[in-house]
Amino acid sequence: MLRERTVRLQYGSRVEAVYVLGTQLWTDVYSAAPAGAQTFGLKHSERVRVEVVRDGQAEEVATNGKQRWPLSPSTTLRLTMSQASPEASSDKVTVSYYEEEGITPVDQAGLFLTAIEISLDVDADRDGVVEKNNPRKASWTWGPEGQGAILLVNCDRDTPWLPQEDCSDEKVYSKEDLKDMSQMILRTKGPEHLPAGYEIVLYISMSDSDKVGVFCVENPFFGQRYVHILGRRKLYHVVKYSGGSEELLFFVEGLRFPDEGFAGLVSIHVSLLEYMAEEIPLTPVFTDTVTFRIAPWIMTPNILPPVSVFVCCMKDNYLFLKEVKNLVEKTNCELKVCFQYMNRGDRWIQDEIEFGYIEAPHKGFPVVLDSPRDGNLKDFPVKQLLGPDFGYVTREPLFETVTSLDSFGNLEVSPPVTVDGKTYPLGRILIGSSFPLSGGRRMTRVVRDFLQAQQVQVPVELYSDWLTVGHVDEFVTFVPIPGTKVS
């Protein structure tokens, strides 16, 4: 994050520069001095604070310009401002150069400043409000006392006629879609116009371009339209500077969950660019950065009170369905039956899907993880579950063979647990596996990598390959009992 920069003076000429509040501007008075000059004096506008720094010692300069200082290679000026300029180039610093005993300056160098405020802001303190210029907005730490903004993968489907998740395209079809996104605000303050040769640009890195998308409002007075400005093939967006105090609202969506090779952190930057010379790219003179962590997929433990119960309807399980229905009615939750036209004879719904959720301060919703098993229930998650505020994610191996251990009866999660002094408040994921070095079956690597990358429920592999089916739920489960422990 650029917070200091240097401006070069030139005697006998006027230099214009844009100053961003909160930064420091340095200039070398010695190198800009004309031949024969021995001392210099200073005058400056009241909004500019000028310090003469000699041999590491700073001395604040009065505005009247009566004091003089000897020219020295170790003498520089440090300039700061605390408020935006009312007009472009309205704040000035004038350096007058004198001969040793001279009264009249032999020459002068002028620095004309335009002070503006630029702040790219997010909900870094996780209270649901986008605060202004949080000093820790560019970093991220875990925990209730941590900081850093959170981003949801926009993996639900708020528009029913779309074939895939909302994050699969670069369009916004409803305001419900926007509610799944995190807000980001670019705050600017300054004169009506910037001097020529400056522009403000939002941008992301190439490595983040497939992980985050950004939208903004266009033509708000003639029907709001949300335009995709960053993500995928779009790496930068030039922001129109309108002057005065302005807040530009952006909506940010996650495109990918954390996974192998992607820790879940993405950054968005805003830079003030300055024209230097022809054939030289615009140069950043100020950069502000915000960092998001994409919310991990969190597996739901079965010790929580049930909300919905899913069961497959088969030709031979009428009595079972009847008993389940009676039980569900006693618990005041919803029974959802997957009929034969959808299950196509596959009764093992537990092996096809696993329920979890994602959560940020502004919103959260359930997300179903679809297994690579892909039996006759393979269309059920997308056709029956994916919808408004119900997300979908899957991982499919490219080259590995799918085995019984890739069914999600082989995927469980423990209650909250402490292991070797480390607390896992959301429990730990349990996976059935083969005995180490035995060459037996294991859950496919792409699924294991996905679960490991979520970080909050670090997986544990248990030996289950001794069983014919090999699922972890064949020999371990968790049920709530009275008291403080779970068994």
pLDDT of residue 252: 98
Rounded to whole angstroms, how far apart are CA atoms 437 and 449? 19
Rounded to whole angstroms, how far apart are CA atoms 281 and 193? 22
Q: What topology does CATH give the domain 4-116?
A: Immunoglobulin-like (2.60.40)
Q: Which residues have C-beta within 8 Å of that of residue 425, sequence separation ≥ 6?
A: 416
Q: How far is CA 476 from the centre of its chain?
A: 38
pLDDT tens sequence across 218-259:
876 666 689 999 999 999 999 999 999 999 999 999 999 999
pLDDT of residue 485: 58
Rounded to whole angstroms, how far apart are CA atoms 124 and 139? 9
Q: Which residues have C-beta within 8 Å of that of residue 314, sequence separation ≥ 6?
A: 340, 343, 345, 347
pLDDT under 70 in the chain at which residues?
Answer: 1-2, 220-224, 437-438, 484-487
Rounded to whole angstroms, how far apart are CA atoms 76 and 24? 12
pLDDT of residue 162: 87
Q: In sequence order, what are the beta bridge partners of 186?
A: 120, 248
Rounded to whole angstroms, how far apart are CA atoms 455 and 297? 9
Could you tell me the two tokens for 16? 């214009």
pLDDT of residue 100: 83
CATH class of 299-474: alpha beta
The reported pTM is 0.92
> Among candidates 123, 147, 145, which has minimal Cα distance to 133?
123
- If you count DSSP H runs as helices and E runs as strands, how many of each does the chain have, helices first? 6, 30
pLDDT of residue 72: 92
Rounded to whole angstroms, how far apart are CA atoms 138 and 125? 12
Classify the phi-psi angles of 168: left when phi > 0, otherwise alpha if psi is within -120 to 50, otherwise beta: alpha
Same fold flag, 4-116 and 299-474: no
Rounded to whole angstroms, how far apart are CA atoms 87 and 486? 67
CATH class of 122-295: mainly beta
pLDDT of residue 222: 64
φ/ψ (deg, to 5) at 36: 90, -10
Ranges of each domain in the chain:
4-116, 122-295, 299-474
pLDDT of residue 487: 42
